[in-house]
Amino acid sequence: MTDCIFCKIINREIPSYTVYEDDDVYAFLDITQTTKGHTLVIPKKHVTDIFEYDEEIASLLFSKVPKISRGLEKSFPEMKGLNLINNNKELAYQSVFHSHIHLIPRYSEKDDFSITFSNNGDKYSTEDMVAMAKLIEETITND
């Protein structure tokens, strides 16, 4: 893709701070550095989001995430945790439309990063949950 900033980074048309690279995966420091060591892991093949992954791309990309995560942990012993985030489509806060995984090291509760989840469990009955699970399971099975 000619207009993709991440494709340009992979092709060395735009500089980046590389932390890992092989034939299929490229990982580099995010320029925002939400926390120290914030790294992006991307497939070299252009795919917009997770909905375009096939099993091969998923396997190649996700198999490298633990290795890169361990590299972060060893590089920054003060790290106390790690958020793994993948945003898909604009509503889910995807801003670069080349799929990528954020590895965000966590150092303390006050490291300028937070995620909150609402608990809406009480809005769904047991029957609703069973129906949702069955629908999803059948959709996956028939795909």
Active-site residue, 100 included: yes
Q: Identify the helix (H) or strand (E) that includes residue 65.
A: helix 65-75
CB atoms under 10 Å from CB of 51, counted, come to: 9
Tell me the β-bridge partners of 85.
102
Single out the catalytic residue among 38, 46, 98, 100.
100
Structure tokens at 2: 């000619």
- Where are the strands (E) in 1-143, listed by range? 18-21, 25-29, 39-43, 81-85, 101-106
Left, alpha or beta for 48 (phi > 0: left; psi -120 to 50: alpha)? alpha
| Active site amino acids | 100
